[in-house]
Structure 1
């Protein structure tokens, strides 16, 4: 996963059994996975049948990454420490490449001791003041630790922490020997607030599992047990659990229903089922009746209007340019005519789409 142009200088004396010396390595145009790094510098020595890393430095720009450690030739003794304090999130290539406005600070502390076959790992990942595209997500923190070794083999690394000002709590395990991970989470509230909507309840559970390096085999499952939104004078709630399942790049939406209510009066429902391949195709079926005033429209004149939109449509095809087949029926819709003081009211009709 580490790529770039590297050069190595070393001076070694002694014997093959007991070499002694020093080494220096530099790297330019360095990338770790998809992250661009500043020039890499390594310096260390070889003595007492041990390779010592006295200094490792690189970074992301303003953010600095430093490390040091040692490893015995027979692999029985290992020590490594990596520190990356207060790296600006905006310097992470993953956000910059997607033109996501990001701010906040990421700090990483990682320690490994023990042996190569049974490393004891501990660490902490912390993100402070995270904002993405003007949405405040707050602080997140994850702790990593191995409990010990079992017969010369390390126990899985335990993962525990919280995301987005404790909106989501996480726990799980990472088995380095099997290269597998499984993390479960409890969702207590929504980490973000959509425009012109208020989230009153947002609870559920999530599971993330897979194998290191195998993005295609990764699975993310989310089940929302409670979802309640308010938009204008309407309340929007789930009827039954909302289940999302993502395997690799394919997101599946199990049949679910959102119910609309105005006070104690039922005011429509929307049913959704289907799937989205983030790398290509989309296939979603939408059916239901939506109050116009519940839509998060920017104009208060539209939000104050009445009427319903009845949807029976299939959205399919390429994700970036999907096709729409079906119909949208307007019933009793009212809205202002731009540039005049007049309003259309009691508008009825059908818009049919063919693909």
Structure 2
């Protein structure tokens, strides 16, 4: 098959057409990948922020059609349309049984760049080829654990469904699941890329009436308005903390989301919320990022709450249907997230567009 491969950290992606795909093993499924979003986390693997072994087929946000099932698979069948989720949900581990399937313990071996048994089903030039997040949706086919699939109705366009696999579940989930947003609240979102836009529309769905978008790209702020931002702040022109402070009768925001993963921006988000407010950390930082804030005046006396957010605190088997219902009712914008549809040969261009802030999402269409 053909796939986009990262040969090494800090190198351009290569498109290879010599990749051999082994048959699915027990508990595994072969999926013909129809569409894959190009997400900032893919870029984070390329630049080393997320450390995975190389060479590796990137891509962790996709949708497709089941072509073959391995021994013991009963949750999906050949011909089913599915969303590929980069966090599996086994339904059996401690985390899944404690309503935290977004922390499913079966995901632990993803760091090996293989499948749940630590091995890979892909080879290129006779050498093993890793796959991101048990998936590798930048390839035309993927061998994945059945627990990494969510069946969806065939009526849902696969290029739309693909976005649910990461950006939408993470962003909308951060607002609806992780945070506590009450109707009428003031919310600020630092970072308006693909995930940030979904945080914004999640805050809108939750009932926030003042939604402040912060970014350094005018193009992203324009997009933020179209997804529900009521106010925008260009962080290159004014101090976001001071600008946010004037809202909510001068108290600052009730809830802040940091969707960048940079230490200084995290500190800004914490300072931008009112006493008793909530900060949700969504962006993926480098491993060496630390913050330096006064504990007494940040947490104790002001009683601010800081929550980490992984995958929008989502239960994929419950939240994918909920999000599709919101989409069908016109409350959730999905098609508008797709700025470009591209072929896998254009993936380096898609990475450049993402870094330039000119797209919400580029979507690879396979075949």
Class of the TM-score when normalised by the shorter of the 2 chains:
under 0.3
Larger radius of gyration: 1
Query: TM-score, structure 2 length as denominator?
Result: 0.25
Q: Which has the higher contact order (CA 8 A, sep 6+)?
A: 2
TM-score (structure 1 length as normaliser): 0.26
